Amino acid sequence: MPLCAELYQKQAARLGLDELQMYDEALVYPNGNATPIGSTSELVEKARNMYHELSPETGEFFDFMAEYELFDLETKPGKHMGGYCTFLPNFKAPFIFSNFNGTSADVDVLTHEAGHAFEAYYASRHLPLLELVHSTSEINEIHSMAMEQFTYPWMDKFFCERADEYRYAHLCGTMTTIPYLVAVDEFQHKVFENPKMSAKERRAVWHQIELDYLPWRHYDGNKFLSEGGFWMQKQHIFLYPFYYVDYALAQTCASQLFIKSTKNHKEAWDNYLALCSMGGKYGYFETLEKAGLDNPFKEDTVKKVVESIRGLIDEFEAKLNK
């Protein structure tokens, strides 16, 4: 939280604002966030080159995806919204679905969803049973979130002269999302402990949680949101109870791989391949240990990760201001 508060303060200064409003939080730069250059097919081709340069394993994987047309990326009239990666077990083939919209989210699909897809491709060729290919989401999201960061060096391909801006914004985002992720979890604990709460009481609970975890949040005088109505926009609370915090656990581990990659890329990549080859074969703690990752539930893990990421954010920022 102290790091996030600082990052938001710097963002407000960059945007020339005294106070960030909710709708400003996503705007990192006054001239707009960095957007990728190229059509969908050009972005896929750039991704293919990138995965060939990253490793033989990812190169082979992406060729397979391209050869069998395992993408549906373009936005079309009447198409279902959203983006995800799924798996066709009979063909040991991942499939990536998305709605490209010309923002950096398109690149996130080619890294995040491709991270899930790579794991499915790789694990299904390393494990004897397809039932073992996937783990639970606090592991599965490490596959995808780590890939978002392993691919930083190739972001020049997608963002050209704004690549450093993308990398800085993305790295800050890995930290600034965490307080919200855990706030959603804490809210659900309180709601399930007290099922008879009124709608107003639930809003009061969310409002208090926001004061604790998101003290930088301002709703520009909107009464409903300022009194705690914001919790309702998170569909996970309605559809997938207690799932959202998994992203925070996964990010804490993905960050460890990223930190390691800045010191020793080979060791970090070997850890990542080991992680992907295990799929869901082992339990959570055993999987982390075999992949060389510190357990996020251990008291000093978050502290160590945040301290290192803070240093890297400072480095990225210095590069940006050069």
Pick the closer one to Zn ion by CB: 8 or 247: 247
Pick the closer one to Zn ion by CB: 55 or 86: 86
Residue 174: half-sphere exposure toward Cβ, Cα within 13 Å: 34
Measure the CA–CA gap between 62 and 142, rounded to whole angstroms: 19
CB of 143 vs Zn ion, minimal distance in Å: 8
Angle at Cα 69 formed by Cα 281 and Cα 101, nearest 5°? 95
Q: How far apart are CA 103 and CA 85, in angstroms?
A: 19
Residue 174 contacts Zn ion per CB under 5 A: no
> Among residues 56 and 82, whose Cβ is nearest to Zn ion?
82
Q: Is 144 in the site for Zn ion (CB under 5 A)?
A: yes
Please identify the residue of the shown chain whose CB is closest to the bound Zn ion. Answer: 144
Q: Which long-range contacts (CB under 8 A, 24 or more apart) does 287-291 make?
A: 287/135, 287/139, 288/253
The span from the CA of 13 to the CA of 11, in Å, is 5
If the CB atoms of residues 109 and 309 are measured against Zn ion, the closer one turns out to be 109
If the CB atoms of residues 85 and 175 are measured against Zn ion, the closer one turns out to be 85
- The whole-angstrom separation of Cα 55 and Cα 153 is 13
- Kindly state the smallest distance separating residue 26's Cβ from Zn ion, in Å: 19
213-252: contacts with Zn ion (CB under 5 A): none
Interaction between residue 149 and Zn ion (CB under 5 A): no
Alpha-carbon distance of 175 to 167, in angstroms, equals 13
User: How many residues belong to the site for Zn ion (CB under 5 A)?
Assistant: 1
Stretch that binds Zn ion, among 2-10, 65-73, 141-149, 261-269 (CB under 5 A): 141-149
Site residues (vs Zn ion, CB under 5 A): 144
